[in-house]
Amino acid sequence: MTPAPARLHYAGRRLEQFSWSMFDWAQQPYFTLVAAFIFKPYFASGFVGDTVRGQALIGLAGGVAALLIAVLSPMIGSRIDRGSEAKRWVLAASIPFTLACAGLRFAAPNHLERLPLIISCLIVAAVSAEITVTANNAMLPRVAHAGRLGKLSGSAVALGYVGGLLSLAVFYIAFNVIDPPLLGLDPAAREPDRIVGPFVAVWYAVFLIPFVLWTRDAKPSSRTRSQVSLVAALRTMPAKTRRFLLGRMLVADGLTAAAVFGGVLAAGLFDWGVAELGTYGGLIIIISGIAAWASGAVEPRHSPRTVVLISVVVLAAAVLGAATITADRLMMFPVPPPTAGDGFLASPSERVFMVLGLVIGAAAGPMQASMRAWMARLTPTGFEGRWFGLFAFSNKATAFLAPLLIAGLTMVTQSQRIAMPVIVLFLAAGYICLRRVPADLEPQT
């Protein structure tokens, strides 16, 4: 029989792992509702009123946010290693995050004088969200044993997708199905669309409570207390680990752009509203969550490296397919365009676009979970904050390039579809780098 103290320790560790995973549940609705499927398409088509200009502005805001994240993440990771507890960074960054999300409420149609405020809120929300993710990721190697890194990471990502799906369902029913909408919101003023920011802020605050109560900070390692610059942190890594970060950087750029601009493209091509975008996003979340969980479950047989490489290939193929779609054409073949009154997914273009979106979701979930587990395998004890700071840095170091490149090309070509070839270019370059990185390394410390 297992001694009582051992059982209590095991139960406490499982509770901490669950509470750590609940961060993904709390944070995912931001990426689902604000960054991808609801607010940004509304920003382009409803607030700005011009999907091409709106896509360019979204790219500009994303580029500025990515540049700030690239500068801040390694610094914060270094401070975590030197004794600034990761959990406290999560809590500190949560304050501007919730305030910025709440500020999106002011994005009323025909009030473009508020554009600087809304752009600022988008930037602050994106930067603070990434800081919380950096700090939370730095806790993973301590929360899970080495053999459970992939399983816990995959389970957390899957739990996050479930939270994103549930939040999407609650939001849609409360503010778009119930008549009149909850809180007496005025559909004519697009208030149900604009409430998504405050809704995400409240969701995050409520479901962060388990993380606050039952996760602990690790004691800082004595050998990592000195100030570490970005260049010095990179020098402590083996060359192959730096190659991993470069490949991850390029793949993350492509994946982020696919998530952001996919919904914006659908809104522009097919005039999808909240109901259609919500259905599109919900189905993608379901597929992503199932696939992320499955990727963690197969870790004993397939390394995170294998899962990531396969996911990149599948993602690139699906994005390339989406680039060939217009409202009245599939590749070179003309098809009947959507017409008013036909209903959702009545046209061939819409149906194919939906299928490709589901394929993207099936690749994105495992990629996100396995990339984090792969990084954890490469990280030596005592360097979790610094190296996961670099991990976040690699996520955003050049993330301004894809949205800014898309923004510029969108303005030049006046075509939203130009986003897709740019995404494929980043994915292909990332794949080439990652192929040369093994599944496990003994880091040189």
Higher-pLDDT residue of 385, 204: 204
> In the numeric block, which tokens belong to residue 398?
């050049």
Mean pLDDT comparison of 92-96, 139-143, 432-436, highest-scoring range: 92-96
243 three-class SS: helix
pLDDT above 50 (res 73): yes
pLDDT above 90 (res 313): yes
Cα three-residue angle 37-99-110, rounded to 5 degrees = 60
Sort 105 into a burial class: Cβ within 10 Å, 0-12 / 13-18 / 19+: middle
Which residue type does 262 have?
G
Residue pLDDT, tens place only, 361-372? 899 888 887 887
Determine what percent of the chain is predicted with pLDDT higher than 70: 83
Query: In the sheet that 329-330 helps form, which strands lie side by side, from edge to edge?
Result: 325-326, 329-330, 333-334
pLDDT value of position 187: 87
Cα three-residue angle 82-88-90, rounded to 5 degrees = 110
pLDDT value of position 430: 92
Long-range pairs of 126-129 with CB within 8 A, sequence gap ≥ 24: 126/35, 126/61, 126/62, 126/65, 126/66, 126/69, 127/65, 127/68, 127/69, 127/72, 128/93, 128/94, 128/95, 128/96, 128/97, 128/100, 129/27, 129/30, 129/31, 129/93, 129/97
Residue pLDDT, tens place only, 185-211? 998 899 988 999 999 999 999 999 999
Mean pLDDT comparison of 22-36, 51-65, 344-358, 417-431, highest-scoring range: 22-36
Which residue type does 363 have?
A
pLDDT above 50 (res 224): no
